[in-house]
Amino acid sequence: MTKRSFFTLTLLVALVASLLQPARSEAAVTLKTSKTQAHMVKLVILTDRLDFPWSLAFLPDGRMLVTERPGRLRIVHPDGSMQREPVKGLPPIVEIGQGGLMDVALHPRFAQNQLVYLSYAARGEGGVGTEVLRGRLNEDRLENVQVIFRMQPKSRSGVHFGSRLAFDREGHLFVTLGDRGAKDRAQTLDDDAGSIIRINDDGSIPSDNPFAKRDGVRPEIYAYGNRNVQGAALHPGTGELWIHEHGPQGGDELNIVRAGANYGWPVISYGVNYGVGTRIGEGTQKTGMEQPVHVWVPSIAPSGMAFYTGDKFSKWKDNLLVGALRGRALVRLVLEGDRVVSEERMLSNDLGRIRDVRVSPDGSIYLLIDSDHGLLVRVEPTE
C-alpha cells in the first residue's frame, strides 16, 4: 500500500467512526441565576440545537426523547449531547402552522414494553388533523408502529391542534384537541374538535366513557367545549386530569376534567374577540357549563404543565408549574384543594417562549424553549 493510499484509508476510517458517534452539542452552560419568592435557581442550558421543540419524556436510563415540531424525534443524553440522527420509523408528519410533531409520552409500563406514544398532524380525507401513534422503541428506531387515534373530521386549518397526551392511573390515555380554528365545532359531539379524548392504550374505547352508548356521538369524547388545550397533568393527590387552554384575546383557562363535562367554548369565555374587544357568546357563565379553576386576563398563552412532586424545590411541593409562550415566563400556582390561592411569574424574559415543562425523576425541572434554535434548559436550586 502506498503512503497516499494509507493516508486516504485512514481518513475514511476516521470519517466513518465520527459518523457513528452521537453528535455532541456544546457543554452545558449556566446561563444565569434567578431569584424567586421561595428559591434561588440556576438555569443550565443543555443544548441550543433543537428546532422548535415541543415536548419531552424521560427514559429510564436518564436519556430524553424530545419532539421537534418539523417532524423529528430526538434522543438527548443527560449532558445535552444528541444522537446525530433522529429516531427512525415515524410516519409522514405534516408541519402546517401550529401543527407538526407534538407530544410524546411513555407507556406506564415502558420498562417492560418499550412503548412510546406520539401526537402529530397528519393528512387524510378533508385535510389535516391530530393523530396518535404508538411504537416500540428499539435503540434509535420505532418498530411495530400503529396509529391508534385519528381525529375526525379533518380540516384545512393550520391552528389549534391541541395536543397533549396523559395516562391516568388506570392506564387510559387522554388526548387533548383544539377546535381547529372553527369554534362552533367544540360544542358538537359528533366531531372530535375542541374535546378531551379518552382511549385505552391500544386505541380502543373504554366502555365507561360518558358518551360511549349514545347514538350520534363520537364515543372517544370524554369532555368537550375546549378551545385549544396545550397543557395536561394528573394531580398527584387525586389523580384527576388538570388541563389549561388558550383563550382568545385573554381568557386562558385552568380546568379540572370531569366525565361528560362541557367547558363552554365558545358559548362562554373570559376572553374577547380579537382586535375589537367585543363579548364572545353569552358571557362568562351559563348553567350546565363548567367554570374554570383559574383564568388569565390578559393571556399568557400557556403551554406545558407539571405538578412539582420532587424534593429539590421543597417549598414548591405540589405546586403547579405552567409554561407561558406570550408571557415568556414560568408560572407557579399555589393550590389549596381545587383553588388557586397565589401565583408567581418566574424567569420572565430570561429564556423565551416556554413550550413545555417537565419534572425529572431526580426533581430537577426541565424547560423547552420554542425557537428554531430551541433550548433545553434544566432548572436547579442553588442552595
Check residue 4 and give its pLDDT. Answer: 40
* Burial 297-327, CB ≥16 within 10 A → b, else e: eebbbbbbbbbbebebbeebeebbbbbbbeb
Dihedral angle, C-alpha 65, 70, 71, 77, nearest 10 °: -20
Check residue 27 and give its pLDDT. Answer: 66
Which one from 160, 172, 246, 294 is the annotated catalytic residue?
A: 160
Q: Please, what are the domains in the chain?
A: 24-381 (2.120.10.30)
Give yes or no: 160 in active site.
Answer: yes
DSSP one-letter code for 261 = -
CB 25 within 8 A of CB 47: yes
Rounded mean pLDDT of 348-368? 97
pLDDT (tens digit, 9 = 90+) per residue, 135-189?
A: 999 999 999 999 999 999 999 999 999 999 999 999 999 999 999 999 999 999 9
DSSP one-letter code for 82 = B
Q: Which three cell numbers stand for residue 69?
A: 415540531
Other beta carbons less than 10 A from residue 272's beta carbon: 17
Instruction: Give the Å distances, CA to CA, from 272 to 246, 297, 300.
Output: 12, 10, 14
How would residue 275 be classed by pLDDT, with cut points 50, 70 and 90? confident
pLDDT (tens digit, 9 = 90+) per residue, 203-216?
A: 999 999 999 999 99
